[in-house]
Structure 1
Amino acid sequence: MIVKNFTTVDYINLSPESTIRETIAAFLHHRVDIGCITRESKLVGIVHKHSIHRALLQDFSMDDSIQPFINESVVTINKDQHLTEAREIMIAGNVSQAVVLDETGKIYGIMSKSDLVTSHMTALENTLNRLTSLIENLQDAVILVDPSLKITMFNKTSLSLLGLNKNTLNGTSIDRVLPPFKKWLIETLKTGEIQEAKRIRYRELTVIASFIPIREFNQISGAMVVLRDVTSYESIANELETTIKLKKILDSALELAYDGVVVTDNNGVITLSNQGFLDLLHFEKQNEIIGFPITEIAQQIPSHQSLTLNKKNEGELININHKNCIVAQMPIYQNGQKLGAIFKIIFRQLDAWKDMLLHMEHLEHEISFYRGELIRISKENDPFAHVITNNDAMQKFKKEATIAAKSFSTILITGESGTGKELIAEGIHTASGREGAFIKVNCAAIPEELLESEFFGYVEGAFTGAKKGGKPGKFELAHNGTLFLDEIGDMPLALQVKLLRVLQEQEFERIGATKTTKVAVRIISATNKDLVTLVKEGKFREDLYYRIHVIHLNIPSLRDRIDDIPILCNHFVKKINLKTNKKIFGVTPKVIQVFQNYHWPGNIRQLENVLERAYHYCQKTKIEVHHLPKEILDSCDVLAEPVASLPKNEADLPINRQRSMDQTEKQVIIQALLQCEGNRTKAARLLGVSRTTLYQKIKKYNIKEELNFTTSY
């Protein structure tokens, strides 16, 4: 935008000989503040209305010349200059009007501040129109809100993309129509920072959203969200990526499969197979069978069961090429539509597998028996000798566990993962003096469909593949002994009902059996989950909870027994020494300090793993701080407590004054320990010092913990 488009061309033109009377008449006619003085069409100067006023006040005659009042220092601009340049010239000259000249130096008109304002308003309006047109024609959706999250502007793309109604959208709060975007708009308004590339689901759409703050006069006056629909792109990308991954996984799984696997389409035509299937049928390459019906390649396989009858067969004994094989087959479905079928043929060394499984089962029974006997013999005096501790709370826990072991009630052991719930359960079994074995079951590690057979066993012929003679379950194996149910919070609800019956009646039936088996089993359960919450959520039976919760033992976490860390470190280092040729004699005091400042989310198990890792990196006689993993060092304060410098005469303080200071500090520590009921972690937090510093002070002042806290010198 240039000057000539906003110049006032109706200006006053006077000569140096013009009188005051003529000048006043010109001001009244043109209604402007300045007049141009010219000679032979050239600008000589200007005369200002205020100068004429002053002349009249000074008793000049109306017929006097205006020559004394002409200002020859005139600010001029060119009619073809940009408005921005004109504005800068007028500001630099500190004038409210400037004379506009053409390219020959003749007067073109007058540029005033009001002309500049008009030009800026016009420019702003044009810019706004262009911006509005741009936003309206964007392929991305754009929505603007004010600081109260009310919608102030939107484009037509946002209406069509989000399915909104423009008649009710303007002025509506964003959380009424587009709640998923509220969180990020609030964050943008709060921080004043752009929130880029947020993937958000809205109804059936997936959009990439950017949230941009809007500023006016350095203040945030609103925010803008820009949305790009990526639903179709994401769907295609996901499908392609998933397909590629599944293909690689399937190919790898088939090649690693020990036995034969073949896949057909819905018409029985082979689409995929592995090397095991080729070996069984005496083919060399897959292209010899791909595209051929399975009924031609392997006539012995009853493929009609899955392809025609849509049945799943988990195992059937069939002779293929003079080899006994177990064939399992299953139809493949997607979205309710059958795509084909998959066949698995087990044929390699079936007799050897059978003998091996029987031998392994026999060994498992022997190991369970001898292990129980060994524990009973080695721990007759202290059934919890394997629980290493000097901690008072842990010693109290061991006493409670010993008392609980002598009862006949069910026991529930709770505690964080890695605290040693299984070790406590074994100690309870040993202390109980029960004659039977200690049998453990991890309810989270066994597939749901196998849990019932694991617990109760099965009889011969109970299902296809059931071994001859049947198999006893864990309850039978634990007769007159203890059954330890680890991770009981993960037990399926259907099995919880049957477990409750066994606990109440002390009897059960094997799968496929017609007679009842009676047992005398002590149940110990363990979990790191909140069973009360699971009961409220309907994920754990309330009656079973009260049945297993007769005696409750909660194992303290490692962070609540940090005074055990030194002896635990020595124990684990000795244990690792027995497995290797290296000899390490423990850890340095600095390592103990680091460990006592760490929060140990994985408890004892994590401590042992950290020490084992550091052990292998250690080339000295003791494990040092730099041998520890980075995540341990980054998560705790390993800096020593700062020591305040003493003034020059501090060493000369009277002895009684120093003793008084020590006594005051000692009493403060005692009061903190009393207030926290002996919990040293809470006391350290209350005093504003680290736990290591608190332990040092307790040792320094001989503060002893008995029934109460006392001091001695």
Structure 2
Amino acid sequence: MFVKEAMTHDFKALSLESTLREAVRIFQNDKIGLLPVVDANNSLLGAFSRYSLYRALLNDCSLDTLIEPYIIHDAVSIYENEELKDASLLLTEHNTAHAIVISEDNRVSGIFGHADINRSYHIEYSAVVNSLNSLLQQMHTGALAVDHTGKIVVMNPAAESMCGRTSESTVGLALSELFPDLQDSLRSIELQAVEPLIRHVTIKDRKLLITCNSLSNEDHYWGGLFLLQDFTDYETIAGEFDINKKLELALEKTIEMSSDAFVLVDKEGHIRRVNQATCELMKMSKDKIMHTSVHESLPEIRLEETLSAGIQRESFEAVMIGKHHCMVTRVPIFQGNEVVGAIGRIVYRNLNKWKNVMNRLDNLEKEVSYYRAELSILGGSEFDIDDILSKSEEMRQLKYLARQAAPGFSTVLLLGESGTGKELFARGVHNASRRPGRFVKINCAAVPIELWESEFFGYADGAFTGAKRGGKTGKFEDANNGTIFLDEIGDMPLSMQVKLLRVLQEREFERVGGNQTIHVNVRIIAATNKDLEQMVASGDFREDLYYRLHVIPLHIPPLRKRAEDIPLLATSVSKKFSHLMGIEPITISPVAISLLMAHHWPGNVRELENVIERAMNCMNGRVLESHHLPDYLVNINSRPNSETKKALSTFTNNSGIPENEQTTSVYYKKKVSEAEKEAIESALQLANGNRTAAAKILGISRSQFYKKMNMFNIL
């Protein structure tokens, strides 16, 4: 409702030439406490109130004195198109009983006061009450209303019939006296639950379904409404009807959408339902098939045999229908102990395609199973720091330090190159901390600078144009009582570093556009691949923030400094992609492992994953060989570093490779060439010189096989 609809339209205005006598006469006749003062164009100049009159009389002014010296120039005014609620708040804020109403062209159009508000609300309330009373009396649904104390204040005739008592004997009773089972519902709606509660109760052998709704105005609870429906006579019928409808709908959808043919017959053997696939198999329309004898229309499936008393279960066999090889399933339909029909399923389309679909479904199930396991590891409580794969002594000490730091509150700073597994350490520390809250990750390098503050701290209702109604929580609120992982912290703008520092120090912040201070209990884990000390020296990173973050630093070594981990990681990655590709686990040859261990790995574990994935897409057999690896790994032109030599020595000693030949890349290229040549010659011997068969034995393409033969001068 708007001010224009509630204001006093019939009013009198004063001018600068008006006297106190005119004002007194209007006050006496119109019983109003505020008069607008306008110019010749009816534009507002000010206001003259009863208090203005009293002030003039106290100054011993005569009634013929002009009102101009006593005009209120800062009188409260309001536009006529404002809502009644906002206008009421305005009067309260200014502690005044009246306000002058201004039209859109800034002319005085009325007077608005508390009396207008009361009158409007009373009219609206009376209309609503009359409508509600009429509705309650006429509706077939029972209705009970209770006040904030839980006492019944309204009971309509339908509720009287359902409860078996009159309104006169019920109104004034506590709801718990009539429905003891609804006591918990009453407590719930007092909490102003958004969703209505539904309860089943029994009263005097009547089964009622009761919907409980909270009646409140903003934050004030003033009662509840209970709607009653009698399901005594319909419950059994509705249950049976619902089951039958569901069965019928399920059957109809199953047979109509299936690519297999379905035939449903009654106990007499007459066809009652077929799907489109059946029509395609029989090359007939549904109209010509329906209601015919299944023995005459489709004698091959022998569905009439299923109707005999001796067939009690599903039967399955292969038959020929026309030129189609078919698999037929026959199932009897029982009602009690009596067979009332049968259904036949005919799989006649390309059975090889059907088999391929089943294989694909099996692979998809494996993929889903794998991703479920991955989600459990990365996001669930099952993931542990010890699940980080490594044989390195440095990594062992690092995991020990991470586990020691996990239960505390101190900030952890993860330092290391891209792809070394900083996020795995962050999740491991969170899960080992047993903090009840969530693990919330935010990539500081991926957030647009204009969204930084709202992303971290959220925003209040109406904070900016396009803001979500009710506001939005930020990452720090989401991570309360948990852990927030600030990845790529080195890319955080300096303006946000100041705000982050306050959260680290005070554990509190305000939303964008809000004024309420929010306190949080959050564990900070930060990560970066940048040199923060150098950034501090160059002024790109705040020194005070750096020392706040640098409480428990964990330096994760790159893969090139822990080459002994490469065989373990490569095997794990191959298992991962075997799941994804739906293939059996593969084996990585010693030569391929040696090449992997000799590489520098600037991309660390992430690069290793990419290499294994690429190689597995290039292979046809069960063994990942050196020729499946990218050329830049096979053609190594630099010496391995000392760490790689040491790890490679351990691996090659276990693989039978001479220790004195492990120092130069020439050895690796030589061994690869020798192994490939020997493999090709052996395959040719096994295939009796048939090059196509030899290529299949090796699991490579024929063109690749010829290329290798030319390379090694094999005739």
TM-score normalised by the shorter chain: which range applies? 0.3 to 0.5
- TM-score w.r.t. the length of structure 1 is 0.38
Structure (1 or 2) with the larger CA radius of gyration: 1
- TM-score w.r.t. the length of structure 2 is 0.38
